[in-house]
Amino acid sequence: MQAVRTNQEWILALSGQERQQTEALIDLRELLLRAALYTMVSPIDDLREMDEHERMALAEDCAQEALRGVLARLSDFRGESKFTTWAYKFGVNFALTRARRERWKTISLDALSEDEDKGFWLQRQNNLQTIDSEMPALQTEVGAIIQAVIRSELTDRQRQVLKWIAFDGVPMDVVVERLDTNRNAVYKLLYDARLKVKRQLAAHGYEVEEVYELFRTA
């Protein structure tokens, strides 16, 4: 049974030495494991094919990663909530992130890239249209601008990263691993691609906020 600690006692114990810290780490890891397991037994499509043993192993990994995350961010805790509530969120968030990564292990990013040659951008543009009498025309115009930038102004790598992350929802870590690079490099590619799109939209009189609003209900 876990010891009951106040916020200050948690911080002091985790920052302490030997027995006191060891006991606090064991209790914290147990809390984070419960958070991960609770998240993974929920109806998450990404883990639907996993058996109980695989889920437990994944939850154990998540709890360990979340533990490192909590310890690394310990100085950020301001005591505005219970420490256990604050830490519990780490377990949930790490579990959700890993669940998404598990999903993309079975999906070929090469196959997603081939979608571009099959009218992907035009298809996405058409899917964004709504039943509003004026919206489809505006969406088509903006979509055409975005499509033109993507096809003519982006490098192959920028186009690939923008599509995977912004359109397909592929997690950043999966893209980093697939391209055998680092997060900073992928972020730079994504930032540059978005900047080119933003500049062309502005040149045609569209502000980013207007574009977001245009497609908000799509």
pLDDT score recorded for residue 87: 93
CATH of residue 164's domain is: 1.10.10
Asked if 76 and 137 sit in the same domain, the reply is no
CATH of residue 95's domain is: 1.10.1740
pLDDT score recorded for residue 130: 43
pLDDT score recorded for residue 217: 45
- Mean pLDDT score, 10-23: 86
pLDDT score recorded for residue 111: 52
pLDDT score recorded for residue 68: 93
pLDDT score recorded for residue 131: 41
pLDDT score recorded for residue 25: 92
Tell me the DSSP string of 127-190: HT--SSSSHHHHHHHHHHHHHHHHHHTS-HHHHHHHIIIIIS---HHHHHHHHTS-HHHHHHHH
Residue 1 lies in a domain: no
pTM: 0.52
Residue 198 lies in a domain: yes
- Whole domain around residue 160: which residue ranges? 109-215
Asked if 116 and 204 sit in the same domain, the reply is yes
Of 16, 146, 147, 33, which Cα lies nearest the Cα of 94?
33
| Contact between 50 and 39 (Cβ < 8 Å) | no
Instruction: Considering only residues 136 and 162, tell me which one the structure prediction assigns the higher pLDDT.
Output: 162
The total number of structural domains that make up the chain: 2
pLDDT digits (tens, 9 = 90+) for 38-97: 877 654 555 666 667 877 888 899 999 999 999 999 989 988 889 999 999 999 888 888
| Residue 15 in this model has a pLDDT that exceeds 70 | yes
